[in-house]
């Protein structure tokens, strides 16, 4: 049987086993655990800072800060929204960029990439599995931030019905549901970054170089998004609509920027995912 025939005969069960193996390998790395630890610590620091600031009865957020921060003292659930707003511009994308950048380049650097390709998976299947693993990390990382913030918010501040940005009151249960929806939207907002990082990972055999390049892009693009002279370019930058998740806390929900964000992430995922596939399937694997 030719190798092409072997690839076609790979069972879905084997593919799931490969995905499961990638998940276990990724989430057992000390680097991954350290990244998740840092992400979990951000809501703790924000919550403690707000608690200390308001310990004398003053209101939080008087000096500016992430969206929703002025509402945290009234309802601990707002710490979830605040923590996501605080981590999305840098910490979450950086963590995803590190994992995505190392996905293939790290294997090549360690000399294990060619051994992965010995198994009847095929390059396309391996690349898809790597991308699925990075997307799983996007979801886990976002939920870690949200759960940490919810726990800290419950400990340090009262919980109950909350007021939306529009000024209407919703129940705590509905607020919790919206918090989960916001976390999912934030996770999906990172799929473009995941595809970009995976593409960079196909360009080099150095894991450190791939991670540094991806993180460098993640730092540069938001800076470009703040330069007024580049306003015509802003709607096409992957970070431009990231904070549109705040519109889920309006009544009724404003969907315009949310749909633009999700559509833009889908375009980035398609473009850089295709570029990663074209590069990886044609690349000479020597390590």
**Residue 272 · residue 196 · CB < 8 Å:** yes
Confidence of residue 256 (pLDDT cuts 50, 70, 90): very high
**Which pLDDT does position 14 carry in this prediction?**
53
Confidence of residue 5 (pLDDT cuts 50, 70, 90): very low
Confidence of residue 65 (pLDDT cuts 50, 70, 90): very low
Is the pLDDT assigned to residue 61 strictly greater than 60?
A: no
Average pLDDT over residues 62-85: 77
**Residue 279 · residue 196 · CB < 8 Å:** no
Q: Is residue 277 part of a domain?
A: yes
What's the whole-model pTM score? Answer: 0.87
CA-wise closest residue to 242 among 250, 232, 234: 234
Residue linked to tokens 């991806």? 214
Q: Is residue 287 part of a domain?
A: no
The per-residue pLDDT of the chain, averaged, comes to 85
**Which pLDDT does position 64 carry in this prediction?**
40
**Which pLDDT does position 112 carry in this prediction?**
72
**Which pLDDT does position 55 carry in this prediction?**
62
Is the pLDDT assigned to residue 15 strictly greater than 80?
A: no
Is the pLDDT assigned to residue 17 strictly greater than 90?
A: no
- What are the tens digits of pLDDT across the range 85-138? 999 988 999 999 999 998 888 877 777 776 666 655 678 888 899 999 999 999
Residue 128 belongs to domain spanning: 3-282
Q: Is residue 170 part of a domain?
A: yes
Residue 188 or 70, more confident: 188
Q: Is residue 9 part of a domain?
A: yes
**Which pLDDT does position 118 carry in this prediction?**
64
- What are the tens digits of pLDDT across the range 207-254? 888 889 998 999 899 899 999 999 999 999 999 999 999 999 888 888
**Which pLDDT does position 62 carry in this prediction?**
44
Confidence of residue 2 (pLDDT cuts 50, 70, 90): very low
What DSSP string describes 94-154? HHHHHHHHHHHHHHHHHT-HHHHHHSTT-HHHHHHHHHHHHHHHHHHHHHHHHHHHHHHHH
Average pLDDT over residues 260-284: 92
Q: Is residue 140 part of a domain?
A: yes
Q: Is residue 173 part of a domain?
A: yes
- Give the phi and the psi of residue 203 in degrees, each rounded to 5: -90, -15
Percent of the chain scoring above 90 in pLDDT: 54
| Overall number of domains in the chain | 1
């Amino acid at each position: 049987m030719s190798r092409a025939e072997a690839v076609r005969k790979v069972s879905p069960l084997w593919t799931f086993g490969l995905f499961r193996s990638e998940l276990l390998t990724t989430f057992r790395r000390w680097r991954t655990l350290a990244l998740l630890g840092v992400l979990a610590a951000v809501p703790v620091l924000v919550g403690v800072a707000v608690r200390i600031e308001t310990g004398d009865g003053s209101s939080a957020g008087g000096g500016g800060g992430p969206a929703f921060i002025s509402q945290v003292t009234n309802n601990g659930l707002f710490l979830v929204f605040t923590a996501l707003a605080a981590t999305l511009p840098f910490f979450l994308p950086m963590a995803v960029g590190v994992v995505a950048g190392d996905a293939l380049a790290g294997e090549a650097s360690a000399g294990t990439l060619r051994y992965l390709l010995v198994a009847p998976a095929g390059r396309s299947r391996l690349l898809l599995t790597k991308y699925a693993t990075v997307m799983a990390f996007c979801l886990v990382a976002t939920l870690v931030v949200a759960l940490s913030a919810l726990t800290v918010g419950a400990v340090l501040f009262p919980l109950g019905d909350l007021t939306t940005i529009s000024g209407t009151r919703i129940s705590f249960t509905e607020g919790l549901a919206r918090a989960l929806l916001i976390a999912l939207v934030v996770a999906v907002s990172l799929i473009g970054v995941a595809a970009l990082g995976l593409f960079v990972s196909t360009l080099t055999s150095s894991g450190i170089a791939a991670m540094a390049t991806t993180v460098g892009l993640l730092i540069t693009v938001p800076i470009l998004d703040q330069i007024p002279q580049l306003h015509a370019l802003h709607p096409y930058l992957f970070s431009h609509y990231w904070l549109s998740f705040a519109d889920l806390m309006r009544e009724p929900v404003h969907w315009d920027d949310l749909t633009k964000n999700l559509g833009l992430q889908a375009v980035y995922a398609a473009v850089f995912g295709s570029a990663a596939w074209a590069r990886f399937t044609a690349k000479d694997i020597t390590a």
